[in-house]
Structure 1
Amino acid sequence: MALSAAEVAALDRTPLDPPPTQVPAVRLDASNFDFGTVLVGQSADVTLTISNTGTAPLTIQSMCSFVGGFNAAAPSTPFTIPAGGRQAVTLRFTPVFGKAWSGTLSIFSNDPRNPLTTVGLTGIANSCPPITLSPATLPDGNVNTVYNQTITVSGGTEPYVFTLSSSALPNGLTLTSAGTLTGTPSTTGDFMFTIRATDANNCSGDQSYTLRVVQPTLPNIEVGLGAMNFGTVTIFQDRALPLTLRNTGPGTLVINSLVVASSSFLGDYNAFVVPAGPITLAAGAEEQVTLRFAPTAWGWHRGTLTINSNDPDQPTARVLLYGLGWLAETETGGSLVAWGANGNGQLGIGTSIDAPVPVNVSGGLLAGKTIVAVAGGQRHTLALSSDDRLFAWGDNSS
């Protein structure tokens, strides 16, 4: 059925629906932030992202916190975020004294539905600077061996007091208040503990340690000879004999010194290389040292070689040294000369008068003989001729 003219006119006067309204909408990427622990007077920052999910520009009019220490550092307000856009905001925590802080950041905007949005803020203010203990790890210790390690500190204010804050030390060790870990551990194993250093302002720092106590790898010195006989040596000459030093232990042997108690015995340590300092022998190693007997007076000479090392069971080893300083020698051509004391006729010069200077021994049975070797005792002399005949003279009482 067709509309009348009046009905058509009425329809023309009916208003249309209004167009949709464009509005901004605020959205935050987090509702809470924890700044952790911050030193008093210093700052920590976090980032809050504000998004505009609406269809109109979003204006952030102001951001503020009513708790001291929290604030929105950047950007400054007001600022505008276009529809569909976002803005990073730096939030800052700057505590003024030590305590646990909590507050709220209020954000005011032109969002008609949420003109006020909030973010929860927390943080801990520490009035103490970082206190660091060194070393970070401890060297291993040996059971039944003295252990000594000093703990040092950086940061804070002197003086420091050191305490054990958790667990226990190995049996036999103690921690002094000055930070020295000392004693003789009596048990092997791994021992975990924490040392705390507290400064003059009652600020503290902790360091956790694991101390391993093991069986020691010790050296063991072995000396090749207990006594060395240099035989008969003409005075002002010398004879050299070798002495072997061995390390039969698993640890490194350090021979600190070789000392001879008699000036008639000389040690040059090594027949090939003279070391500049102590002799160090690895496990299982050996070294040959050379000793020389150089008498300057007639008669028997005795001495003791003392060997000082780091062998814990035998820090001092000794070798007996002896030899006879004699006053007879062969000359070129096989003749024999002798000098010195002659109370027993041991010079073989036909008298018992001492001879302060060398005298040729050529009479009697030695006449015409070529002497190739000579030896003797304190009161007698032996001479070997080139025809393998042995001659003896001097004291014949026994």
Structure 2
Amino acid sequence: MSRLLGILIICGGLLIAQMPLSNRVSQAVTVPPGATATIPFTADPLPDGGDLFDVACQYPGAVVSLLLPNGTEISPANAESQGIVYSVLGSSTALPGMFAVSGTHTLITLGAGSLPGAYEVRVNSAGATAEFVVVATYQSSSAVRAGVAAGDQTVQVGRSAVFTGLVIDGTNRLMDATVELALVPEDAGMTIAKLPLIADIFADQGAVGMYGAEWLPDAIGRYTAVLTASGVSPAGVPYLRQATSSVRVIPALAQLTSISDAAVDDTGDGILEHLDVNVGLDVTTAGRYRVAASLVSTSGKTVTSQRSLTLKSGSQVVALPFQPSTLALLGEDGPYSRSNIAVVYEDDTEPPLADRRLKGGDSGGYALAMFAPAGSDAFVLPATRLSFGPVAVNTSKDLALRIANRTPAPITQGRAKPSDSAFSVASPAVPFTVPAGGELELTVRFSPTSTSGRSGALVLGGKTVYLDGVGAAAAPSMRLAPTSLDFGTVPLNQGKDLTFVIRNLGGKVLTVSSVTSNATQFTLPALTAPFTVEPGALRSVTVRFSPTAAGSRSGTTTVKGDDPSTASATVSLSGKS
């Protein structure tokens, strides 16, 4: 429960101001033809009234009434005499909250002096020829509110999702509520998970009146977290509230395994060219990641280094270099605090945080004087990164790097050896000289000998060029990202576009022969096949969801190409109206 404790303490001071709070509760029922459905509610109106019952029916001929605690049944005929407002709206608007349904809305507003207690919504389906859905919502006028927040909007399978709940009366937290959390998947075929929320176990840490739960998801998808809170208010009136939040569960991505640092002397002259923070990773899902880390001085000054690179699955270390000019901004010698180490998965339409550590320990006690002075940064480099993409194993790919000498004297570079042996400077031969005020073009070569991701750094005159590439089989390799598109709710006869990408991770050109959809409401506008994707490149594909009938819809987009190992790949599609 340590992570839950941390979130409760962090949220304690700001929770009321930042968490959306709800004064309502909703219920959904299915009503058969010729039947009368009864939907019970616990209402807690204030003396001035104003409480609202909103009953949305898919069948417009349904007759709605409200049974009061004293046994009086409210209908259009007697509502006004009871001081109650009864109205019907025929517009097909969607209800907010946990359920979304279109239909005829019956609005019943309680008047002054309405009693608290048990109310009952009644729906008569006389005349209906088929069953229909009713969603009834009660909105209270009292100050009792409930809220729930997810610690992270996106979590990975096997990682804890943390939820924090709050029940208040005005600004006073209610500490004796009965609170339950249900995780409702958007996929109706999946199991609903229910969790008790733990109340006030961290009261001595400043989390009084707050409720917490941890959930360990085992299936990917989108979930709605529904908090239900019940109890008796300080005024002695029973209440019932619901609040919702959402969370997306994705496959396991990557996990931080180690954090260290080392000063690097690339030229062997006893002067350190850069300080590397080395981030160890265990990658489950291969793809494009952004890795970042910060160094913080004892006076609170912060500098950051980050890299975006393609990572294969498995254990690996990513070096994040800090140049002397960057370290100088800290203004003092080490040790420094390694902090905010973050890994973001970029092959996603909503790039999620794969892993993060707020604190990564202290660096070595480096002295700024150990590093190359700022004046040694003699070269001007228009490019600070060379990305070779996929290159077939046992072949080579060359990229040009132009360096400029903006000083009044020639500069001789005696060392130009990348930190990873898969990379080399093919020309010119070392040592080479760049004339005063002149430029020189270097040819940097990537020659992979195995199917793996490689990264390195080339230091020239105190400046660093980051290198990355992927050793690939001598064939196209087709990958789709993401592999599912969820359009959510789209109004009837309107359209919504989402995209996925076709990426070629192989060492040869990929020819895509066809891209097709198996469902008429999911289309592929402005797409012509066949087409080709170069090694390391990608092609975006737009899918449009245009529902013509209410309900949930699903389909599949199939991509076929000449990848010898994956001739066909699919993207699952879902949406509703």
Structure-1-length-normalised TM-score: 0.34
Rg larger in structure: 1
